[in-house]
Amino acid sequence: MHIPVLLDAAIDALAITANGVYVDGTFGHGGHSRLILSKLGRHGRLIVFDKDPVAVSVAKSIQDKRLHVVHDSYVKLDETLQALAITGVDGILLDLGVSSMQLEEATRGFSFRHDGPLDMRMDTSRGETAAQWLATVDETVLKEVIRDYGEERYAGQIAGAIVMERSRRPITTTLQLAETVATVVRARSHGREYRQHPATRTFQAIRIYLNQELEALSLTLPMCLARLNSAGRLVVISFHSLEDRLVKNFMRTQAMTDTLPRKLPVREDERMRHSRQQLLLIGKKIRPDVNEIAANPRARSAIMRVAEKLEPA
């Protein structure tokens, strides 16, 4: 069963108004969306996105006229709102990464804990599988992907081992890839109770790269800012340091009061003219508490950041 991470905290952060318009950029199994709908009034609206056909099927099974379902990435936010003649929204939630259901479903190929076909596509109706990509990718490119998207210090050794393995036989299953990585990387200790599997970062890197997750997030954050109404909230839950860095830097940049060096001797009206503050940061980053992590270990890496759209100057 999929357990939404930071469920109540995320919906509270949206500061929902009954007749507002909201966006859930990653429907998943609908935990966040259902709670948003429960807080909306008769004239409220919720637009949800998901690339996963299974998630889209679950979303479409919800009989609610206030709900609009889009089978696509949240990178289509601007295009979708334009098609729906919606000029602004009151809140946007992005819950990044993969769901527990995707990880537990062996046929999806996201997890090294269950043997299955090496797929890793969020949208199984289009695109190249991980097995197809690994069959032809250049070793140098593979090393860069594992290093840059997985922050893996042993990327070179792992890429070499994968290329050696595929020269003997095609790499087509999750356990085959995991075992190949384990020949050159040991399990990492993360505290007394948690040891990270050797293939964790490699699987994460390949998934993020194939699904263009960082690129989609980079493109979508400015769209969110542009489409939010004044006082609208942007809430983002990330599970990877690269994702969180993108979100943190974007929010901080948009919360800057001006673009001029602090000690530059300019008149106040000139400094105000260069002001570009568009977001107000709401609180500090939020992590799940010990009780949530105990109930849902996947939540341990989650970080939530919240910002509010300011009135234009």
Same domain as 20, residue 69: yes
Query: Tens of pLDDT along 24-72?
Result: 999 998 999 999 999 999 999 999 999 999 999 999 999 999 999 999 9
Higher pLDDT, 188 or 68: 68
Residue 23 has pLDDT above 90, yes or no: yes
pLDDT > 70: what percent of the chain? 90
Query: Tens of pLDDT along 101-143?
Result: 777 778 888 888 889 999 999 998 889 999 999 999 999 999 9
Residue 99 has pLDDT above 90, yes or no: no
Q: What pLDDT score does 271 carry?
A: 47
**According to the annotation, is 50 in a ligand binding site?**
yes
Span of 109-123, 173-187, 193-207, 216-230 with lowest mean pLDDT: 193-207
Q: Which of these, 230, 211, 204, lies nearest to 150 by C-alpha position? A: 204
Q: What pLDDT score does 111 carry?
A: 84
Helices (H) and strands (E) in the chain, counts: 14, 9
Q: What pLDDT score does 13 carry?
A: 98
- Going by pLDDT thresholds of 50, 70 and 90, the confidence category of residue 268 is low
Q: What pLDDT score does 186 carry?
A: 79
Euclidean distance between CA atoms 209 and 206, whole angstroms:
5
**According to the annotation, is 31 in a ligand binding site?**
yes
Show which of 170, 194, 210 is a domain's final residue.
210
How many CB atoms within 10 Å of residue 238?
A: 23
Q: How many folded domains does the chain comprise?
A: 2
59 three-state secondary structure: helix
Rounded to the nearest 10 degrees, what angle do helices 200-210 and 174-182 cross at?
130
Q: What pLDDT score does 104 carry?
A: 73
Show which of 191, 210, 229 is a domain's final residue.
210
Same domain as 248, residue 179: no
Strand order of the β-sheet with 21-24 is 67-71, 45-50, 21-24, 89-95, 228-238, 303-309, 279-281
**According to the annotation, is 32 in a ligand binding site?**
yes
Residues in the chain: 313
Q: 116 lies in a domain? A: no
Token readout for 69 is 């379902």
The whole-chain average pLDDT of the chain stands at 90
Euclidean distance between CA atoms 280 and 27, whole angstroms:
26
Same domain as 27, residue 79: yes
Query: Tens of pLDDT along 232-241?
Result: 999 999 999 9
User: The domain containing residue 175 runs over which residues?
Assistant: 123-210
- Going by pLDDT thresholds of 50, 70 and 90, the confidence category of residue 261 is low
How many CB atoms within 10 Å of residue 274?
A: 12
**According to the annotation, is 30 in a ligand binding site?**
yes
Same domain as 240, residue 165: no
| pTM of the predicted protein model | 0.89
Same domain as 303, residue 224: yes
CATH code of 287's domain: 3.40.50.150
**According to the annotation, is 278 in a ligand binding site?**
no
Euclidean distance between CA atoms 111 and 46, whole angstroms:
31
